[in-house]
Structure 1
Amino acid sequence: MNTIKAVVFDLYGTLYDVHSVRTLCERLYPARGDAISRMWRQKQLEYTWMRCLMGQYKDFESATVEALRHTCGSLGLALSPAGEASLCNEYLRLAPFADVPQALQRLRAAGLKTAILSNGSRHSIRQVVENSGLTSSFDHLISVDEVRQFKPHPEVYQLALDTLNLDKADILFVSCNSWDATGAKYFGYPVCWINRSGGVFDELGVSPDLVRRDVGDLAARFPVAGALENVS
């Protein structure tokens, strides 16, 4: 197997905690924060998949707003324009997982290129990364806006090849979302699934090359030379 030259990360749930919005949800809707956060995220994903299948692309911010409105309606919660704006803005200030900053430093110190390939818009990816102070940790921030499709559409995974100008075997794709890891594996990338929750990988005909509990675990056990065959 070729030597890995770049690591391409999913953003939402892999590097950044999508449920860090729970704090504001709880403040605005006491005792409902967790329910809002979880339904909001699930509906957000469903809307990206549905729009991809229907050929009705809207950017990630639109999916986020529409999913929040549906969530509040489903839970019988009143959503004011100010509340909607405040909650959606939290998606631009997501907190990185504690292991992420040092892990990125370690991978880059090993001579690896690092990039994000995300369903987020150009604006949302840039804002999340800037607001967390991690801009210098990435060589590229790649948005699905370029192809107006959402993961796991193959055109999205092609974007990393086009941006990095590398072969598939040179790029390790990393995601906590097993459906995303599955899409990347079918596309032809070596894949690492970040299993933070101790879950079970989706039964869709392929398996990840690596499974790690978090990004820090991946970086700590990654050889300096980047040879994937030496990682177990």
Structure 2
Amino acid sequence: MNKNGIKALVFDAYGTLFDVHSVIEKCNELFDGKGVEISKTWREKQLEYANLHQIMGNYKSFYQITNHALHYAVKLHDEQLDKRAENELLKAYLQLSTFPEVKDVLTQLQDKKLAVFSNGSHDMLDPLIKQSKITDIFDQIISVDEIKQFKPAVASYKYAAKELKVKPEEVLFMSSNGWDISGAKNYGFHTAWINRQNLPIEEMDMEPTIIYHDLTGILEWK
């Protein structure tokens, strides 16, 4: 494909720019020895609940979903979630760590239009990006909350393209989530799967345009 035809580099947030499992330390502090398990379940239920709300046509913000998923995860692992622990863990989700290469890579790409496009609602996404010191790098922060259609719904990607004022084929979309890559490819974006966990490609007949192990590979699109 013609890389010069790409006008916008669009990044998913959770798992792509930000390490969702950087909450493990706080989980371990509150629930001794169960941090890995709780974090894993928390993320799985967060994604599951978003999909279920989308399918049922019963939208709730990603902040609400993240809270509900947390409650489920703690119960599943036989722990009790009091208000203090709830607040501390939700606050930790607003302070996730970026992956090590993120800031350096983004800084080198600033001759392109850069955007974040996330299922995260602005009450989660904006403080998260602000605390990470990468706010000024992006031209736009787009949340599905603005249209209340979670990815991978076609309407969500269509909305992002409209907000960016670009055609689908002018976008390279980056995500670490295979389902998100499938959704973006289905809509018509070019896709770069940031396969941080060395997973197999999703069996959706929607193969990514290109695969990288981390974001440093994106530098060839400069």
TM-score of the two chains, using structure 1 as the length reference:
0.93
C-alpha separation between the residues in 1 aligned to 2:27 and 2:122? Answer: 25
| Offset from partner CA, 1:105-133 (integer Å, 9 cap, x none) | 1111xx21100000000121111100111
In terms of mean alpha carbon deviation, does 172-181 or 159-168 score higher? Answer: 159-168
- How many Å separate the matches in 2 of 1:137 and 1:22? 28
Structure 2: gaps spanning 5 or more residues: none
Residue 47 of structure 2 is matched in structure 1 by 45
- Letter aligned with residue 218 of structure 2: L
| Aligned match of 1:151 | 151
* d(CA) in 2 for partners of 1:73, 1:178: 28
**2:128 aligned with 1:125, yes or no?**
no
Amino acid at match of 2:76: S
Match of 1:179 in 2: 179
Corresponding residue of 2:32: 30
Alignment of 1:1-232 (within 5 A): 1-2=1-2, 3-108=5-110, 111-219=111-219, 221-222=220-221, 224=222
Deviation, structure 1 residue 39: 0.4
Question: C-alpha separation between the residues in 2 aligned to 1:105 and 1:206?
Answer: 30
Matched residue type, 1:198: N
Deviation at 1:163, TM superposition (A): 1.1
Contact 2:63 2:123 in 1 (8 A): no
> Which secondary structure does the structure 2 equivalent of 1:78 belong to?
coil
Q: Equivalent residue for 1:230?
A: none
Deviation at 1:217, TM superposition (A): 2.3
Separation (CA, whole Å) in 2 of partners of 1:197 and 1:70: 25
How many Å apart are 1:78 and its aligned residue?
Answer: 0.8
What is the rounded CA distance, in whole Å, between the counterparts of 2:203 and 2:147 in structure 1?
Answer: 27
Deviation at 1:197, TM superposition (A): 1.1
Runs of 4+ residues over 4 Å off in structure 1 = none
Report the alpha carbon displacement of residue 180 of structure 1 after superposing the two structures with TM.
0.2
Helix, strand or coil: the match of 1:150?
coil
Letter in 2 for 1:144: V
Q: Is the Cα–Cα contact under 8 Å of residues 8 and 160 in structure 1 kept in the other structure?
A: no
Number of matched pairs: 220
Distance (whole Å) between structure 2 residues aligned to residue 183 and residue 145 of structure 1: 17
Residue 52 of structure 1: how far off its partner (Å): 0.3
Q: Distance in 2 between matches of 1:49 and 1:89?
A: 23
Structure 1: gaps spanning 5 or more residues = 225-232
| Structure 2 Cα separation of the partners of residues 105 and 5 of structure 1 | 17
Q: Say whether the 8 Å CA contact 1:192–1:211 is kept in structure 2.
A: yes
The answer to whether the 8 Å contact 1:142/1:159 transfers is no
